[in-house]
Structure 1
Amino acid sequence: MQITVDIEKCCGAGQCVLAAPDVFDQDDTGVVVLLDPTPPTSQRTAILEAATLCPAGAIKVGA
């Protein structure tokens, strides 16, 4: 699984951090920080939820 984030789209809602705190964080301004671009498959459900919940569509998940 490969994750990418578009920090230009990020609106700082923080839903990604709530859904997958081992994969996402926020910097001091609230912008998403990708902690692990290739997380284990055990995180798949949480990551897909984070991408779905992102109001800005800033998170993309690939195979």
Structure 2
Amino acid sequence: MLIEHIYLNMDLLPDIQTEDISQSLTHLLRRKYAFKSTALKSDAAQALGISAGLPGLFIERIN
């Protein structure tokens, strides 16, 4: 069994409150907001002071 608490920054996710999140939040974030789960590479993990390969969130910003 797993209980997961997810905290979302509403400033980064405009209009997320109007989305149907009864389905996969991961798919919604990937499709609409260009976020995706990933394993952290060594340079990013080192910058955060954690082990490489731990889960992280990839955010792609296109201007």
TM-score normalized with structure 1 length:
0.31
Q: Which has the higher strand share?
A: 1
Q: Which has the larger radius of gyration?
A: 2
Larger RCO, structure (CA 8 Å, separation 6 or more): 1
TM-score by length of 2: 0.31
